[in-house]
Amino acid sequence: MASIKENLQKIRQNIEQACMRAGRRPDEVRIVAVTKYVNEARAREAVEAGLTHIGENRLEGLTEKRRALADLDVTWHFIGTLQSRKVKDVLPQVDYIHSLDRLSLAKEIQKRAERAVKCFVQVNVSGEATKHGIREDDVLPFIDRLREFPNITVVGLMTMAPANAEEDELRRIFRRLKNWQRAVEEKHWEHAPCRELSMGMSGDYIIAVEEGATFVRIGSALVGNDG
Ligand SMILES: *Cc1c(COP(=O)(O)O)cnc(C)c1O
């Protein structure tokens, strides 16, 4: 297994080149290291390699990693489907939630949060039935309604592309998300600055960066996926 340092170096290089092709600055792109497949020692290695944003998709993994890395300076991201009953335990442990996709979840966050929580609204651009996220038609009305919840700040939009999609399909999906992000940003809603785009994983982050990603969520290609 390659060291995280080596993987990171390669990924940073790929991101820089993608930014160059797209006329973007590399410092606009932050890497969220997804540690859901690996143990605490490997997660620690990631932070020591210079990764300060860590993502987990389950409450159990989040709690475990947070406890193990309590001495390190980490920004924590919850990237997975969030069940309402877990909100009260997830909230105090995270800086960002990437998967806000329904009003009932917004209500629960509002009820449990003690401060405004940075949330990405997850959009199902691919239309796959198995993917979570709101429909594209609902992006503006849904985010408009979130103004009722002062404990939620919509910092951006998030999507997951299908694992086996061709390049043009990926580009189409990422571009559509970017267009929706702009549409929200242009509303200048105080509760929804919506400047960020959380898109791109191990298999498609280069294309996501070319299409405007500001947070890429990378697991297997960075920290590995076997322990
Ligand atoms: C697991 C996961 C990732 C990272 O997946 P890789 O393909 O291993 O990079 C990114 N985003 C979400 C929401 C995930 O659940």
What H or E segment, with its residue span, contains residue 55? strand 53-56
Identity of the residue numbered 207: I
Burial (CB count within 10 angstroms: exposed 0-12, middle 13-18, buried 19+), residue 207: buried
User: Is 160 near ligand 1, meaning CB less than 6 Å away?
Assistant: yes
What's residue 30's pLDDT? Answer: 98
Tens of pLDDT, residue by residue over 14-48, are 999 999 999 999 999 999 999 999 999 999 999 99
Average pLDDT, the chain: 96
Tens of pLDDT, residue by residue over 163-204, are 889 999 999 999 999 999 999 999 999 999 999 999 999 999
Atom 11 in ligand 1: residue holding the nearest Cα: 217
* Residue from 31, 79, 94, 131 whose mutation best tests the ligand 1 pocket (most atoms within 8 A of CB): 79
Q: What is the 3-state secondary structure (H, E, C) of 80-95?
A: CCCCHHHHHHHHHHCC
Q: Residue 223: how many CB atoms within 10 A of its CB?
A: 25
Distance 199 CA to ligand 1 centre (A): 10
Tell me the three state secondary structure of residue 61.
helix
pTM of the model: 0.97
Q: Shortest CA distance to 197 belongs to which of 18, 32, 13?
A: 32
Fold category of 4-223 in CATH: TIM Barrel (3.20.20)
Whether 126 has a pLDDT exceeding 80, the answer reads no
Identity of the residue numbered 38: V
Distance 80 CA to ligand 1 centre (A): 9
Distance 109 CA to ligand 1 centre (A): 23
- Sign (positive or negative) of CA dihedral 133, 135, 139, 143: negative
Q: What percent of the chain has pLDDT over 70?
A: 99
- List b or e across 128-153, with b for residues whose CB sees 16 or more CB atoms inside 10 angstroms: eeebbbbebeebeebbeebeebebbb
* Residue from 201, 215, 220, 226 whose mutation best tests the ligand 1 pocket (most atoms within 8 A of CB): 201
pLDDT band at 6 (very low <50, low <70, confident <90, very high): very high
Atom 12 in ligand 1: residue holding the nearest Cα: 79
What's residue 217's pLDDT? Answer: 98
Distance 201 CA to ligand 1 centre (A): 6
Whether 1 has a pLDDT exceeding 90, the answer reads no
Q: Shortest CA distance to 181 belongs to which of 147, 155, 144, 153?
A: 155
